[in-house]
Structure 1
Amino acid sequence: MGVAVGFTVRPLLPEQGRLPLLVEAGDHDTSLLDVFDELKALVDEHLLRDGGILFRGFRLEGAEQFRQFAASFGHPLLNYEFGSTPRTNVTQGVYTSTEYPAHQHIPLHNEQAYSRDWPMKIWFYSMIAAKSGGQTPIADSREVYRKVPAHIRERFVSKGLMYVRNFGNGLDVSWEDVFNTEDPQEVEAYCKAHGITCEWKDDGELRTRQVCQAVAEHPVTGDKVWFNQAHLFHISNLPPEVRESLLDIVDEEDLPRNVYYGDGSPIEDDVLDEIRAVLEDCKISFLWQEGDVMMLDNMLAAHARAPFEGPRKVIVAMAEGHSLDQA
């Protein structure tokens, strides 16, 4: 596609379309920060069309330089608030990717699409590439929207989705970690401000409910995107033996996480199976190289994680908070 200031620009996997666009350094001594102005011009030109850009072969020295790179795009980096998975803060605004065991697969999803507030931009930095596996597959959320059967899409849009979460009890992340506070009043204030219903249960733990979007419209491009985590939150996402064990321990209403239609009625397993099949069909996968940085428009591109062997370290930054209520 072209060469500019010592790097090439082309689709990484042209047979699968333009996502992700590869920007590759001609000289591995080129610092990602030193050519930021040129790279930002490329991002401004391509990100909204292609959904994601992979920077490869550039020099980047550690988490702090990664933070500087992500923050240079003009929006303060976001804290991981109302998160759904365990992460560790690396430096200000930079976190580990989800700390699930290496053998587990994390399905495709858009970051924080289970809420009414989400980051518009997300960056991934591959500091240590796994010996095998460990990809961060991605997918075009516009394509997912188009491929979800119309009758499912219409049902999801008309009903919306209600996410129910029960924190703590050794089954999921604690509310203290999720809300970054030990003060229940701060939790209640956050929930009130974000349209989340919260209740303190008899055991002192917290349950939240929030009705959210199933699809969304990109505020800049106007594109309709599939934008939810129903397939991930629903109990059918768990292996059958795990599901049965959990339901032996707790009632359905006390599951760590589950999702219903917005009116509280159950979502059919076969509907979610169809959605998962669409996501699988749209999945784009490539192996990380150490030093790779990927930038996604979080509404236009979903991401996942493949199982892996050996050490792996991918860190993440997010920016440009957007709210459904401001759309």
Structure 2
Amino acid sequence: MSTSSTFIGSLDVDNVTTSLLDEKSKLPLIISPRLDDSLEFLCHWLVANRPWVDEQILNYGAVLIRGFQVNDAPEFERAIQSLQPSLSDSYRGTSPRSVFAGTKYTFSAADAPVNYPIAQHCEMSFLDSPPKQLYFGCLQESRTGGGETALCDFRSVAEQLDGSLRKKFESKKLQYRRRHYNEGEKWTTDVGSMLSWRQMFGTSDKSKVEELCREEGAPQPQWIGQNNDTFYQDWQDEPFVRHPVTNEVVWFNHLQVFHWSTFPCELWYAFCRLHDVRFLFRSIFFWVISIIKYVFLGHRMALDLRFGDGTDISVSEANQVRKIIHKNMVFSSWQKGDIMCIDNFSVSHGRQPTYDLGRKILVAWSTPINKRSLQLPYIEEEDIAEEVGLTKESEDAMIFDDKLVPGAVIATPDCTPVSTLTRAESEDLRDSFALSMEKIARNDSFLNVSARGSVGGCHKRNKSCPVQHMDELFA
């Protein structure tokens, strides 16, 4: 293939090839060169086809651009800016990162040891305004087992979550408590505690940190600890959001990353997949350490997650979420020059552990999008009843109350000029109608109920069956 600046062919979509890495998950779509693999062609092609590539990222959740000549961080950044000119260099996440030389928007994917697993997550999901898209690149792949940046469709996680657990998350919400020290910790399995607040905000001036928090709409920090030099925030958040374009429900939080059981569990999953006994031994060792540290000694992680009422999320509940995530994960081994474009509001990413110290992955991200308008409010059934003035005692008598049927009104001379009924007569008529319908619905002989699911020969298969709705309404 050509690596010169003279293009072979045109910049049409037909001058690249597309394929799927995984037919079952449809994730990700792979775009590779047909005739020209040069960086020049890729950059010009991305500029010419931005809407089409964006559409594929939306449809598939992730697009893997593979086979082009992308050899260093500046070339990666140039390619990404051809697709997305508006990148952000503001990072308020939890992993320690460093910017690559010769770039402004390209960072190391994580400066934690490569044998540390990083569980699946949507980037900065706990912030008010996370990035809309993420872009990973590979300068050197792992030559031993592991090291993949795995993907998972978090729409599937939301859909497959057990109903009772989902309801519990929706009703209680999540509480985040975030703590960063003046200096990051070195000897720890909690990646978030490796990041100091000075690194996160790029300043050692507390007043500047507070100003940045105000500008970004973040909770105002408290300064705690012996010397008041520990950064602390707490806030409540929703566990789900709706996708900003498709309106689909997405599991959108960091529970599976910042639960104390995560590190040994992710090592166990790595052992099960790769059969490397080093991961097994490390999993057992860190289970012991984690139980002592977090259960018996009461330590908390740098980003501590609980239910919104302050109660702990159990290991069993965290495992339910983790199991669904691993069921839906897709693994793609990196190749040098790869660029992975991810829809951050539908698809998560995470790092699989490896013992190859030469692995080098970089990342950039788009400008943020506010998620508050995308969150799902939860209303208890009791709250709905209270809002419309319905009590247990009055429930039967008020089945046809106009408050329960939006748009329904009482027929009175006050609101219907053509009516000849007085207010008292109209209310008597309404009450008698409601009472009659109640008696009809509860009269087994009238409905001729012969068996559950069969009403007088009428079927109950379809939700549109009027008899079924009447039966359910008065059950």
TM-score by length of 1: 0.91
Q: Any conservation in 1 of the 2:71–2:139 contact (CA below 8 Å)?
A: no
Q: C-alpha distance in 1, partners of 2:296/2:199?
A: 23
Q: C-alpha distance in 1, partners of 2:235/2:133?
A: 23
Give the drift of 1:38.
4.7
Matched to 1:182, the amino acid is: S
Q: 1:201 aligns with which of 214, 224, 233?
A: 224
Q: Any conservation in 2 of the 1:216–1:224 contact (CA below 8 Å)?
A: yes
Q: C-alpha distance in 2, partners of 1:38/1:22?
A: 18
The percent of aligned pairs where both chains have the same amino acid is 26
Report 1:271-290 matches (<5 A).
271-290=317-336
- Corresponding position: 1:154 with 2:167: yes
Q: C-alpha distance in 1, partners of 2:220/2:329?
A: 34
- Corresponding position: 1:36 with 2:46: yes
Q: 1:225 to 1:248 in 2, by over 3 A?
A: closer
Gaps of 5+ in 1: none
**RMSD, aligned CA:** 2.2
Bigger CA radius of gyration: 2
Q: 1:263 aligns with which of 302, 309, 329?
A: 309
Q: 1:248 to 1:49 in 2, by over 3 A?
A: closer
Matched to 1:131, the amino acid is: R
Partner residue in 2 for 1:55: 65
Give the drift of 1:245.
5.3
After alignment, is 182-191 or 81-90 more displaced? 182-191
Report how many aligned residue pairs link the two structures.
323
Give the drift of 1:142.
1.1
- Which structure carries more strand by proportion? 1
Deviation track 1:113-134 (CA, whole Å, cap 9, x = no partner) reads: 1222200110011110111221
- Corresponding position: 1:319 with 2:363: no
After alignment, is 190-199 or 157-166 more displaced? 190-199
Matched to 1:323, the amino acid is: N
Report 1:119-268 matches (<5 A).
119-132=131-144, 133-168=146-181, 170-171=184-185, 172=193, 173-192=195-214, 193-203=216-226, 204-238=229-263, 239-244=286-291, 246-247=293-294, 251-252=298-299, 255-268=301-314
Q: C-alpha distance in 1, partners of 2:27/2:370?
A: 25
After alignment, is 263-272 or 297-306 more displaced? 263-272
Could you say which structure has the greater relative contact order, defined with CA pairs below 8 angstroms and 6 or more residues apart? 1
Report 1:45-124 matches (<5 A).
45-90=55-100, 91-124=103-136
Matched to 2:208, the amino acid is: E
- Corresponding position: 1:9 with 2:18: yes
Give the drift of 1:210.
2.4
After alignment, is 170-179 or 281-290 more displaced? 170-179
After alignment, is 145-154 or 118-127 more displaced? 145-154
Matched to 1:137, the amino acid is: A
Q: C-alpha distance in 2, partners of 1:138/1:49?
A: 15
- Corresponding position: 1:24 with 2:24: no
Q: C-alpha distance in 2, partners of 1:290/1:241?
A: 38
Q: Any conservation in 1 of the 2:47–2:83 contact (CA below 8 Å)?
A: no
For the residue of structure 1 that corresponds to 2:208, the secondary structure is helix
After alignment, is 102-111 or 230-239 more displaced? 230-239
Q: Segments of 4+ in structure 1 off by > 6 A? A: none
Give the drift of 1:154.
1.9
Q: C-alpha distance in 2, partners of 1:107/1:200?
A: 29
Matched to 1:96, the amino acid is: S
Deviation track 1:49-102 (CA, whole Å, cap 9, x = no partner) reads: 110000111122421122122223345211242220111111211100012212
TM-score by length of 2: 0.64
Matched to 2:219, the amino acid is: I
